[in-house]
Amino acid sequence: MQRPQVKIALLPLMLLLAATSVAVGQGAAVSGVVRDAQGVAQLGALVQVIAADSAMAGTTFTDLHGRYFIAHLLPGQYEVRASAALFVPAMRGNLQLQSGAQAVVNLTLSTLFESTAWLPAERRKADEPGDDWKWTLRSVANRPILRLAEDGDVIMVSSSVRETPKRAERVRAEVMAGDGGFGSSGIHNVFAFDRVLDDGAGLTLRADIGTQPGAPSVGQSTEVATGYGMQLGMGGAARTVLSYQAHPEVLGPDGSSGLQVMQLASGQKMQLGDLVDVEAGGTVYVARTSGYASGSRPFLKVTAHPTENWNVGYRMATSQDLQSFAGLDTVKRELPVAVVYQGRIQTEGGLHQEFTVGRKTGRGMVQVAYYSDSLNRVAVSGGGALTAADIAQTGQNGASGIIADSTSGNFRFLSAGYNARGMNVMLTEPLTTSLWVAVEYGTGAALGAKDGAAVGLPGTGSDLAPVRARTATVALRGRVLRSGTAIRAAYRWQPTRLVTAVDPYAPFSDQAYLSCYLRQTLRLGSLLPPGLEATVDVTNLLAQGYRPFLSADGQTLFLAQSPRTVQAGLAFTF
């Protein structure tokens, strides 16, 4: 008698399950994972599915692993939104669901200070293998769709590039050749190794061996650098880069050959609550030519986000090469100018202080900055066939010494500093999801020839004086969709009589006049291996802003804010 009763009791349950499975088959469902900007799954985040008419179609909370699931959705267009305390809401709109479809929507939450990021005023690095261009505005919570793959009724979407898993190891080999300017001409063989450790820390090693064709008496230049970065609590991070550079092709004023530099650069960023982001660090260096020069170059950057659309900040920098934490993304360091100045070996030095205010405008941003520069010694660049007698004249009787590249003809020396104040206005706007345009206008001062003065050796540095001037820049950065082309181009104009940069700590101060960097992925079916890229790097393509002067033996030399350089090569990542 009990067995029939069991069968009768199970019959309604079986019918209910069958009806439920039919209903699920006819309806649509949405599932996914909610994480923060560091990739940590968020427990208890509220996830809502909102219909096109703003009606609430479904609501749930994420579990211990950040997962959620909302079923029984009718066909139509929806918006999926995730929110949590102390986070900016993340959403995915225009999600079209068909009958029986299962959409996977992963969302990334960010705090207020992560919703926008400032463009760091860093000098460009032509060999950046990661191609992680830094921009004035980078939305983390509301990123466009980065991945869309349709396979039947299953749609895969993502709201953040951070959800793409990092490769544990990457090896890159590169060969560059051409006139690369001071300390970088000739053929350079570059090897780089990056590895992400199990705890999320990153390790980088880079080696660059340069040779000069046609100059067998000059030894090879060597640059070796290693970097280590790790994530800290509360969204913080720390990074350290140790580098050694040896350039035997460089000549000093006393006839000595060789420039050797050891640099230790480090930085840390931290978050104070949800409204303030702090970055601090600097560089400690020792340079050797005919003597030794050493020093430290600290930086400090504080950015506050009082509202979602406004930012205010303060930045202090003592080096144009490293002005923020983002400057440590690459382990390649600038080669400093270490010459005889005022009777002893010195390097370029100064203090830059800047206050900024920025406002988000749609997908772009407008930033206004007021700055004050107190420059103690300013590096000036030039080119031409300097003779040994020309170099020997410098550094005597209190004159500024010249340090020259014997293979490229480029040289550098130090001139007296000056004080300057000015404004900088920058507007950035996205052209596509991966390509941005920036327009910059600045005021300040730069060095130029004194009125009526005929510049010549050995007193070249004393013949220059600060001149008030303006500068304007149009820049394009990013990737061209579906082409595999990475581009970084700029035209930066300033009066051609000036031989140093106006507002030298600005983002594009080293890209005088027309400059560009291109990296193109090479594809030819199965004939070429994956990971092969061609690179072209050009500075001052039109050779503008050259100021001629005469050497001791009557030869014509020139000064320029940035002498023209042209390099090209191939890179292979595996």
What is the per-residue pLDDT across 504-551, written as a single tens digit (0 to 9) for each?
999 888 888 999 999 998 988 778 888 899 999 999 999 999 888 776
Residue 8 CB partners (closer than 8 Å, separation 6+): none
Strand residue runs (E) in 37-161: 46-51, 56-61, 67-73, 76-83, 90-97, 102-109, 149-151, 154-158
Look up residue 271 and give its two tokens: 């978050």
Residue 405 has a pLDDT of: 86
H or E segment and range at residue 21 = helix 2-26
Whole-angstrom distance, CA of residue 229 vs CA of residue 377: 32
Is residue 3 scored above 60 in pLDDT?
A: no
DSSP annotation of 461 reads: G
Pairing of strands 102-109, 90-97: unpaired
Look up residue 316 and give its two tokens: 């202090």
Is residue 256 scored above 60 in pLDDT?
A: yes
Is residue 283 scored above 50 in pLDDT?
A: yes
Query: Three-class SS of residue 390?
Result: helix
In SS3 terms, 162-183 reads as: HHCCCCCEEEEEEEEEEECCCC
Residue 335 has a pLDDT of: 85
Query: Three-class SS of residue 11?
Result: helix
Residue 17 CB partners (closer than 8 Å, separation 6+): none
Is residue 316 scored above 80 in pLDDT?
A: yes
* Segment 488-495 mean pLDDT: 94
**How much of the chain, in percent, has pLDDT values that exceed 70?**
78
More confident residue, 65 or 157: 65
Mean pLDDT computed over every residue of the chain = 80
Residue 394 has a pLDDT of: 61
DSSP annotation of 327 reads: G
Is residue 453 scored above 50 in pLDDT?
A: yes
Is residue 193 scored above 80 in pLDDT?
A: yes
Residue 370 CB partners (closer than 8 Å, separation 6+): 354, 355, 421, 422, 423, 424
DSSP codes of every residue in 257-316: EEEEEEEEEEEEEEEETTTEEEEEEEEEEEEESSSEEEEEEEEEEEEE-SSSSEEEEEEE
Whole-angstrom distance, CA of residue 226 vs CA of residue 446: 35
Residue 367 has a pLDDT of: 94
Architecture of the domain delimited by 166-573: Beta Barrel (2.40)
164-186 CB burial, b ≥16 within 10 A, e <16: eeeeeebebebebbbbbbbbbbb
Whole-angstrom distance, CA of residue 253 vs CA of residue 404: 9
The residues pairing with 205 across neighbouring beta strands, listed in sequence order, are 193, 226
Residue 459 has a pLDDT of: 61
Pairing of strands 464-480, 221-231: unpaired
Is residue 138 scored above 60 in pLDDT?
A: no
Residue 472 has a pLDDT of: 96
Residue 67 has a pLDDT of: 93
Residue 296 has a pLDDT of: 92
Locus of tokens 């009724």: 153
Residue 286 has a pLDDT of: 94
pTM tops 0.75: no
* Segment 89-96 mean pLDDT: 85
Is residue 439 scored above 90 in pLDDT?
A: yes
Residue 118 has a pLDDT of: 37
Is residue 73 scored above 80 in pLDDT?
A: yes
* Segment 179-200 mean pLDDT: 86
Is residue 150 scored above 50 in pLDDT?
A: no
Whole-angstrom distance, CA of residue 94 vs CA of residue 91: 10
- In the chain, domain spans: 28-162, 166-573
In degrees to the nearest 10, what's the CA dihedral of 493, 494, 495, 498?
-130
Where residue 396 falls among pLDDT bands split at 50, 70, 90? low
Please state which of the four CATH numbers 3.90.79.10, 3.10.105.10, 2.60.40.1120, 3.30.70.100 is assigned to the domain occupying 28-162.
2.60.40.1120
Query: Three-class SS of residue 491?
Result: strand
Q: Among 475, 483, 367, 471, which residue's Cα sits nearest to residue 431? A: 475
Where residue 476 falls among pLDDT bands split at 50, 70, 90? very high
Q: How many CA atoms within 13 Å lie on the side-chain side of 41?
A: 11
Whole-angstrom distance, CA of residue 259 vs CA of residue 245: 8
Q: Among 166, 148, 165, which residue's Cα sits nearest to residue 433? A: 148
Query: Three-class SS of residue 62?
Result: coil
Across the beta sheet with 28-36, what order do the strands follow?
67-73, 28-36, 102-109, 154-158, 149-151
Q: Exposed, middle or buried by CB within 10 Å (0-12, 13-18, 19+), for 268?
A: middle
Where residue 457 falls among pLDDT bands split at 50, 70, 90? low
Residue 191 has a pLDDT of: 94
Pairing of strands 102-109, 28-36: parallel
Residue 269 CB partners (closer than 8 Å, separation 6+): 236, 237, 238, 277, 278, 279, 280, 325
* Segment 330-348 mean pLDDT: 83
Q: Among 192, 161, 128, 203, which residue's Cα sits nearest to residue 573? A: 192
Where residue 373 falls among pLDDT bands split at 50, 70, 90? very high
